[in-house]
Amino acid sequence: MGKLIYYELLKTFLKKRTYLGFLIVAIIVPLVEVAMKLEGGRFLQLATRRLQEDFFFVGSLFNGWFVSYQIMNSLWVHIPLLISFVAGDQLAGEATAGTYRLLLIRPVSRTRIFLAKVATTLLYTLLFVVFLGVISIGLALALLGGGDMIVIERGILVLEESSVAWRFLLAYLFAVWSMMTVASIALFFSSFVENAIGPIVATIGVLIVFMVLTVLPLEIFDPIRDGLFTKHMILWQKVFNDPIPWDEIWKSVTVLGIYTGVSCVAAWAIFVRRDILS
Amino acid sequence: MIANSILRTYNLGKQYKKRWAVRSLNLEVYRGDVFGFLGPNGAGKSTTIRMLLSLIKPGTGEVELFGHRLHSHREQALRSVGGIVEKPDFYLYLSAVKNLEVVGALSGGATRARIMEVLELVGLKGREFDAVKTFSHGMKQRLGIAQALLADPELVILDEPTNGLDPQGMKEVRQLILHLARDRKKTIFLSSHLLNEIELVATRMAIINRGELVVQGDVQQLLSQSEQSVVVEGSPATAIRKVLKSLRRLVSSSSEKDGIFDVEVQVKDIPALNKALVRGGVNVRALIPKRSLEQYFLSLTEGQTSDR
């Protein structure tokens, strides 16, 4: 099994498209962070303009932690797209290239090949989110330094610097978990189509529909909202609440886990049964 | 199972909607055969091969390889089988060696020495570290054969291995097939719509048309049972006419054009025809057999109406 995973990783990481997401992150994150540094605290001032009418701010809360949080917040809609580029290609890419005919005539069960694909997809997701975290937090701290972190949502919350690092660690762990759900959905679509674009488009389509249903303020959607994975994808934000709402977090972890599991099982069932006609 | 039989299909069939791509196919390949699997385009050859290699699940019947049922014992059944299905596709961004390493990992592992050995066998030494995207079609075809041979299988299934090759490439592949069969004792299952290819290399064959088996057996035996067209060249023409008239029992038909005679005769009766011509005072310049597998194939498949 180790050998199968090794060669799946080799195939994935020797493919140029695998690095597209890394390249985009490597361009956009430094660009935004350098721009924020050049703008000084204007961004924070704009964001807290209303609050400043009622409160008096002492010291600078515009630091690396604040910027990292903002980056995570704003990129989180786009990261699934980049994840689906690779995850959606895992099975459909073989169909497109005709290499199913190379792989699936060997004395290895399709289940083992599928498991190697799943492991590769999840490992890619992990590496990608870790890369985003390292480059985003590392550069922001290097450029702007640390300090207490201000969280502006419905109200304002200042988190002590001593608790910020582990909150980010937890946030990225939960981010990996939610991105694995996206990757699994892309893998599911990848299991029954013959071209590599289809799963990407389908995954983005599902994301858009689910996101719209999640945020649309219509009561008719209330009963299903809790079951939409997009509602739970932002669970990482909750670790920046005080106190941390662990009940909500575990509920989100469970819902996302169910989506991941069901997507993978469905993809497996299709993959092991399908006729290879490409 | 007969001890010598390493591939058998039992009533193998596959239906797409209402159309049968393959129906009630019973094939038997013996150890050491170069088994020609012949049929026109769309006859069901590739569908059959996909079923033999577990890419497609049969709708009816089953496949048995080395005594193992493919459906229930897939891994054991495929352990000694290598193959190419239609055109050989690879990971174009990987080198030939890396592609074979990927394939090797799925076949129990292949050492670098073994990879180099098969690349040398198919004439790709020197290009082993080049990305496959730089390969010509012929080179990819040869790499396809290399991957089929990598795990040193006893049975090699080749689906149209000379497709798209130039005459020289086709000749090289034919020679390679003969080398594998004669020197390396491989059993070859060779599918082709090129009849001369089968005629040149196959020992046994099956002909399939519209998804159904038309005939199966020893190539030479099947051809000898058939009528052969022979061109008779000689003089004088009057003596030839006289002899042919006297041989009505052997000669089913004959025609003459510019002093050259086309004679329809059973293969086994050709020596008798020759003898009669000589006895009849004909100076026989040549007896040229015209009948080929192609004619045999056409005689079997032409006129078959599709009722599906």
What pLDDT digit, counting tens, does each position of A238-255 carry? 888 888 899 999 999 999
The H-or-E segment that residue A216 falls in is none
User: Which chain A residues are closer than 8 Å to B79 by Cβ?
Assistant: 107
Residues B69-91: pLDDT tens digits?
A: 999 899 999 999 999 998 889 99
DSSP character at residue B130: S
- Whether B105 sits inside 8 A of A6 (CB atoms) is yes
Task: Output the average pLDDT for chain B.
Answer: 85
User: Which chain A residues are closer than 8 Å to B94 by Cβ?
Assistant: 11, 14
Residues A94-153: pLDDT tens digits?
A: 998 889 998 999 999 999 999 999 999 999 999 999 999 999 999 988 988 877 777 777
Helix then strand then coil, % of chain B, to nearest 5: 35, 30, 35
- Whether A106 sits inside 8 A of B107 (CB atoms) is yes
Half-sphere exposure of A238 (CA within 13 A, CB side): 18
Nearest CA in chain B to A16: B93
Mutate to test the interface with A, among B72, B95, B106 (most CBs of A within 10 A): B106
DSSP, collapsed to helix, strand or coil, labels residue A125 as helix
Nearest CA in chain A to B144: A102
ipTM over 0.85: no
What 3 state SS string does A160-194 have?
A: CHHHHHHHHHHHHHHHHHHHHHHHHHHHHHHCCCC
Residues B156-199: pLDDT tens digits?
A: 999 988 887 888 888 888 888 888 888 888 999 999 887 777 87
Q: Residue B28 in contact with residue B5, Cβ under 8 Å?
A: yes
Helix axes B96-105, A2-13, angle to 10 degrees: 150
Cα–Cα distance for residue pair B231/B243, rounded to 1 Å: 14
Cα–Cα distance for residue pair B287/B228, rounded to 1 Å: 12
Residues B248-271: pLDDT tens digits?
A: 777 777 777 777 888 877 777 888
Q: Which of B290, B276, B277, B231 is nearest to B258 (CA)?
A: B231
> Torsion-angle region of residue A41: left (phi > 0), alpha (psi -120 to 50) or beta?
alpha
Tokens (6 digits) for A78: 């786009």
CB-based burial label for B232 (10 Å; 0-12, 13-18, 19+): buried
- Whether B55 sits inside 8 A of A101 (CB atoms) is yes
- Given a cut of 60, is residue B306 above it in pLDDT? no
The H-or-E segment that residue A124 falls in is helix A110-144
Extract the runs of DSSP E, i.e. beta strands, from chain A: 149-152, 156-159
Residues A148-202: pLDDT tens digits?
A: 777 777 677 777 878 888 999 999 999 999 999 999 999 999 998 888 789 999 9
- Which residue of A4, A7, A97 is in closest CB contact with B89? A97
Q: Which of A91-100, A206-215, B40-49, B229-238 has the least mean pLDDT?
A: B229-238
pTM here is 0.83
Q: Which of A42-51, B20-29, B99-108 has the least mean pLDDT?
A: A42-51
Cα–Cα distance for residue pair A225/B78, rounded to 1 Å: 49
